[in-house]
Amino acid sequence: MNIILLGPPGAGKGTVAKLLTEYDGSVQISTGDMLRQAVKEGTPLGKEAKSYMERGDLVPDTLIMRIMEERLAQPDCKKGFILDGFPRTIPQAEALKGLLERMGIRLDMVVNLDVPREVILERLTTRRTCSDPNCQEIYNVKSSPPNPDGTCKKCGSLTVQRDDETEEAINFRLATYLEKTAPLISYYEKEGILKTFLSLSSKETVEEIKKALHRKS
Ligand code: ADP
Ligand code: ZN
């Protein structure tokens, strides 16, 4: 399956993407994870992206398209892919459309995760992420906490709050989402491949997505 996950920051795109890869063996492609890795490694691309990311702003479309063209050309994408955090703007969606046409790839569904704003704010401020770039397991201090000493249950590294998860950066990310990313909902509605899921529990949402995919195939 080739799927795009749309939704505001904190909608659970990462969690839903992981569960879907377990279901159909496709690969998860998270531009956020790829960028954070590049920043950690200090690559030229990471250096370019860093300041945008810290203030919760989007990195330039051209930079994202460079990453995505390279990523989608890799052979593992033939198993199907779940795009998590991309596209984020209309120009990115247009560029993706051209890219997929050239590659002869069809999108199966654009999944729009709809989550009330209060739920999002609560989730983002209580989120902790494993600091090991190879793990990046996500925790929530209330619903799925790390070990009592704050270390990761999977790898033992310290879990931390991301730079862009301060209240100020979160408000900026939500405003950016409404301005730049939310227009993609009607963009993909017009393309006839959008499906919206009211998502309060990632697990339940994944079950609904599976049913919807099943009906399509
Ligand atoms: P979120 O929790 O906001 O969905 P992500 O992990 O997807 O976070 O992305 C983190 C940051 O990486 C974003 O705030 C943005 O700066 C940058 N980023 C990720 N994907 C994109 C994209 N497709 N276009 C522009 N910037 C992006
Ligand atoms: Zn870990």
Q: Taking the domains of the chain in order of start, what are their residue ranges?
A: 2-26+80-216
**pLDDT tens per residue, range 45-78:** 999 999 999 888 899 999 999 999 999 999 999 9
Distance in Å, CA 32 to ligand 1 centroid? 5
| Rounded CA separation 142/185 (Å) | 31
**pLDDT tens per residue, range 8-28:** 998 989 999 999 999 989 999
pTM of the model: 0.87
From 62, 90, 164, 181, the mutation candidate for ligand 1 (largest count of ligand atoms within 8 A of CB) is: 164
- Sheet of 159-160, strand order: 138-140, 127-130, 159-160
Closest by CA position to 14, among listed 136, 165, 120? 136
Distance in Å, CA 201 to ligand 1 centroid? 22
Ranges of H-type helices in the chain: 13-24, 31-41, 44-54, 61-72, 90-103, 117-125, 167-176, 183-191, 202-216
| Rounded CA separation 105/92 (Å) | 16
Measured at the alpha carbon of residue 135, what is the angle toward residues 3 and 70, in degrees to the nearest 5? 45
Q: Which CATH number fits domain 2-26+80-216: 3.40.640.10, 3.40.50.300, 3.30.565.10, 1.10.10.10?
A: 3.40.50.300
| Rounded CA separation 188/194 (Å) | 5
